[in-house]
Amino acid sequence: MRIDSAGLSVLSREECLRLLATTPIGRLVFTHRALPAVEPVNYVLDGETVVVRTTIGSRLAAATRDAVVAFEIDDIDKTTGTGWSVTVLGHARGVTGIGEIARLAALPLLPWTPSAFDHFVTLSAEEVSGRRIM
């Protein structure tokens, strides 16, 4: 087990991907009007790709078009102070191909509200890192 300079356990890429598949809500970090923006999103992991469902005209859809973004999830036990955090960096893109949209629509990714969440954004996991607090 590798320990970083802060004394936290460094997670392997495989462990990070396993943890990414365990929780349905994360935070997408992107640039909006030249400033950093963070938005909570529900998502699903498709292989090594984070998939988010949004509306075509949303600021999230506009800001993530072929942009480098970050995605973060964590789980911290408030009683014991133990937990973990995983961050993904990569290029986000809006999905436009009919076949790919149909495939992604079949994934277990339901919108939070009854609005028309008919646009998919994918984030390739180009860099994945994580830490465990023990």
pLDDT for position 33: 86
Domain spanning 2-133: CATH 2.30.110.10: yes
pLDDT for position 116: 67
Q: With beta carbons less than 8 A apart as the criterion, state whether 134 and 13 touch.
A: no
Full-model pTM = 0.90
User: Mean pLDDT across the chain, nearest whole number?
Assistant: 91
pLDDT tens for 24-79 read 999 999 998 889 999 999 999 999 999 999 888 888 887 777 899 999 999 999 99
Domain ranges of the chain: 2-133
pLDDT for position 112: 72
In this predicted structure, the answer to whether residue 108 has a pLDDT above a threshold of 80 is yes
* Burial track 48-74 (b if 16+ CB lie within 10 A, e otherwise): eebbbbbeeeeebbebbeeeebbbebb
pLDDT for position 51: 96
What would the DSSP string read from start to end of 64-108? TTTEEEEEEEEEE-TTT--EEEEEEEEEEEE---HHHHHHHHTSS
- 111 or 27, greater pLDDT: 27
Q: How much of the chain, in percent, has pLDDT values that exceed 70?
A: 98
pLDDT for position 72: 98
